A and B are shown apart, each in its own frame.
Chain A
Amino acid sequence: MYLRSICLIAALGVAPRVAGAQFTTFIPPQNKVADSVKAAVVAEQKAQADSVAAKQITNMKTWVDSAAGLAPTPTTAADSLARSIAANDTTTAATNTFPNAARAPETASDLPLILLLGTLSLAAGGLLLIRGRETRPTEGEVRRRRG
C-alpha cells in the first residue's frame, strides 16, 4: 500500500512533463502585415511628433528673434527651390531628336537693313528740308519783290 502511494505520487509528478512534451500549446504565426502597419503607424507618429517639435522650436526661435528685433530667416525658400529643380530632373543621354541633315536655323535679321534705310531716309529728308529752307525767299526778298 505504501509503495503504491509512492508510485502514484511519482507518476503525478512526472506526468505533466511527459504530457507537456506531447501536447504543446498552439502559437499562431505572427501577422507580419499587421506588424509592419503598426510599425509604420508608430514611425509616422514619431516623425509627426518630431516635426511638430522641430516646428515648435523654430517658432520659438522666431519668437525670440522677433523679440530681439531680428528678421526671421526663411526656412522653406531653399526647399521649395530645390523641389522645383528636382521635379525637372532627368537623366542625361544622347538627346538628338532634331531631324538629321536639317538646315541651319533662320538667323537672318532685317534689323541692320532697317537701320540703314532709316538712317538714309532721315539723312535724305533732312537734306530736302534744308534745301527747301534755303530756296525759300526771306522776308526781305519778298518785300523787295513786292516793292
Chain B
Amino acid sequence: MDRIHTRLGAALCVSGGLMLTLAGGRYAAGAVHADRARSEWDAQQAALAVSRARASADGSVTRPPTVEGAPVARIVIRAIGLDEIVLEGVQGNDLNGGPGHVPGSALPGERGNSVISAHRDRHFNHFDRLSVGDTIVTESGPLRTTWVVKSRQVIDKNSPALFQTKDATLTLTTCWPIRYFGPAPERLIVTAKPLRPT
C-alpha cells in the first residue's frame, strides 16, 4: 500500500512538474516574442520616420506591412497599465506574443472597425478594470489616435460580435470571465471611438 502511495505520489509530482513546465514555457515564450515584437516595432518606427522625412512633400500616408505575426500597432491604456505591441493575426502564436489585430479589419486610426483581441490571462488580464470613459491611445504607422471607451458588453462566445463600420472604431475583445479556469464561455467586447472623428 505504501509503495503504491509512493509511486502514485511520484507520478503526480512528475506530471504536475511537466504541466507547470509547459505552462511556464509558454508564458516565457510569449514574453520573448513580445520583446522581439517591441524591438521590431521600434525599428519600424525609425524606418517610418526616415521614409516620412523623405516623402514629406508627397503627403501620402504610410502603412506598416500587414504580415502575419508582424507588429502593426501599439496600444496604450493608462487606466489599466497596459502598453503592448499589437501583432498581425489572432492565431495561437500571435496571441501568445501580444494582442492580435484581426486580419481584414482596419488598422487603428483608419476608417472602419479595427479589431484587437488578446488573452485574458496575459495582455488583457486587467480588462475587467477598464470602464466607459477611459482613454486608449493607439499608434499605427503615422496614425496616432486617442480613443474613448464608449461601451462594454459581455456576450456569448458564439454570438456575432464584430461589425463593419464606416467611421473609425476600435473594438477590443477578450474572454470573459477574466478569472476563470478552462475555456471561458463568454466574450468581453469593448468599443471605443476616437476623440476627434476621422
Binds B, one of A38-46, A47-55, A67-75, A89-97: A89-97
Cβ-defined contact, A109 with B121, below 8 A: yes
Known: A91-B61, A96-B113, A113-B181. A84 touches B47 (CB 8 A): yes
CB distance from A96 to the nearest CB of B (A): 4
B interface secondary structure, majority:
mixed
Cβ-defined contact, A112 with B121, below 8 A: yes
Within A76-103, the residues touching B (CB, 8 Å) are 78, 81-82, 84-86, 88-98, 100-103
Nearest CB in chain B to that of A121: its residue: B16
Cβ-defined contact, B173 with A82, below 8 A: no
Known: A94-B106, A118-B19. A108 touches B183 (CB 8 A): yes
- Summed over the interface, the residue pairs from A and B with CB atoms below 8 Å come to a total of 199
In the bound assembly, the distance between CA atoms of A103 and B19 in angstroms comes to 31
Within A119-140, the residues touching B (CB, 8 Å) are 119-133, 135-136
Q: Is A116 an interface residue (CB 8 A)?
A: yes
Cβ-defined contact, B5 with A100, below 8 A: no
Specify which chain A residues have a CB less than 8 angstroms from the CB of B32 in the assembled complex. none
Cβ-defined contact, A88 with B164, below 8 A: no
Q: Is A111 an interface residue (CB 8 A)?
A: yes
In the bound assembly, the distance between CA atoms of A72 and B15 in angstroms comes to 57
In the bound assembly, the distance between CA atoms of A105 and B120 in angstroms comes to 12
**Which of A94, A109, A116, A118 touches B175 (beta carbons < 8 Å)?**
A109
Specify which chain B residues have a CB less than 8 angstroms from the CB of A94 in the assembled complex. 106, 110-112, 166
Cβ-defined contact, A89 with B60, below 8 A: yes
**Which of A89, A124, A127 touches B62 (beta carbons < 8 Å)?**
A89
Specify which chain A residues have a CB less than 8 angstroms from the CB of B64 in the assembled complex. 88
Q: Is A19 an interface residue (CB 8 A)?
A: no
Q: Is B12 an interface residue (CB 8 A)?
A: yes
CB distance from A123 to the nearest CB of B (A): 8
Specify which chain B residues have a CB less than 8 angstroms from the CB of A103 in the assembled complex. 157-162
Nearest CB in chain B to that of A102: its residue: B162
**Residues of B near any A CB (own CB < 8 A):** 2-3, 5-6, 8-20, 22-23, 26-27, 44, 46-48, 50-51, 54-55, 60-65, 90, 95, 100, 102-107, 110-113, 115, 117-122, 124, 143, 155, 157-166, 173-175, 180-184, 187, 189
